[in-house]
Amino acid sequence: MPRYRAVVAYDGSGFAGFQVQSKRGVERERTVQGELIKAVNQMGKNPQPAIKVVGASRTDTGVHAFGQVIHFDLPFNIPAEAVRKGLNTILPRDILIKEVLVVPDDFHARFSSHSKRYFYRVSTQDYVDPFKRVYTGHFHWHLDAKRIEEALPDLLGEHDFASFAASGNETATTVRTITRADVIVKADEQELVFIFEGNAFLYNQIRIMVGVLLEIGTGRRPVHDIVRLIEVKDREQARYTAPAAGLYLDEIAYN
């Protein structure tokens, strides 16, 4: 059975996250993984047992992706480009297969990755833009971008990010390594775009980091409060979690 790796983009506003949420085998809410499973099994002529679709990241309700990665095994050989075109014919319009490759049998979408990149869009308009409401987090308070730029390097490196992990985090350790933390100011579009890259991220970590950085930008926190938060390992002191709508899984890198 050949194994395929696919890069998937989706508009998360119509999904209850990536991962299937089922009870007794019946999907309770619409998910990205659920739609992918239906499409892949249709392409595979609905074999028994059903074909599994494994994702690299379990994005939450409302979170978007440009570069989610999945893998699956088909019961017969189909050229990778034919798989891409076939799945895009079957899938709903809020999911797009961008690329398909045939990979070795030991490739795993989640465990073979070595880094992930996300970005977070913040709208700074006075009121919620109806055309941005499901694609940006809204924050109308005045922000000093220089304070945010000064704070960002405090996130870099290997740290215990327990203060930035939401309840429900199930990982064995809260130590993570961040290799990139930037902000781009798009004054004409009234937006800030945060970019984070690291070996992995905790549950809601990026949204919590953005929340802290926005409070630093307003002056509600000292510029280097991230250093203190890393030391105290207390989620309650990080406070604000930015909305899911602004978060995008941008790219997953593999060796």
The pLDDT tens digits along the chain (255 residues) read 899 999 999 999 999 999 997 665 566 799 999 999 999 999 999 999 999 999 999 999 999 999 999 999 999 999 999 999 999 999 999 999 999 999 999 999 999 999 999 999 999 999 999 999 999 999 999 999 999 999 999 999 999 999 999 887 778 899 999 999 999 999 999 999 999 999 999 999 999 999 999 999 999 999 999 999 999 999 999 999 999 999 999 999 998
Catalytic residue among 60, 73, 105, 182: 60
Per the annotation, the verdict on 73 as an active-site residue is: no
Q: What is the pTM of this model?
A: 0.94
Full DSSP string of the chain? --EEEEEEEE-GGGSS-SS--EETTEE-S--HHHHHHHHHHHHTT--SSPPP-EES----TT-EEEEEEEEEE-SS---HHHHHHHHHHHS-TTEEEEEEEEE-TT--TTTTEEEEEEEEEEE-SSS--TTTTTTSEE--S---HHHHHHHGGGG-EEEE-GGG--TT---S--EEEEEEEEEEEEGGGTEEEEEEEES---TTHHHHHHHHHHHHHHTSS-TTHHHHHHHHT-HHHH-----GGGEEEEEEEE-
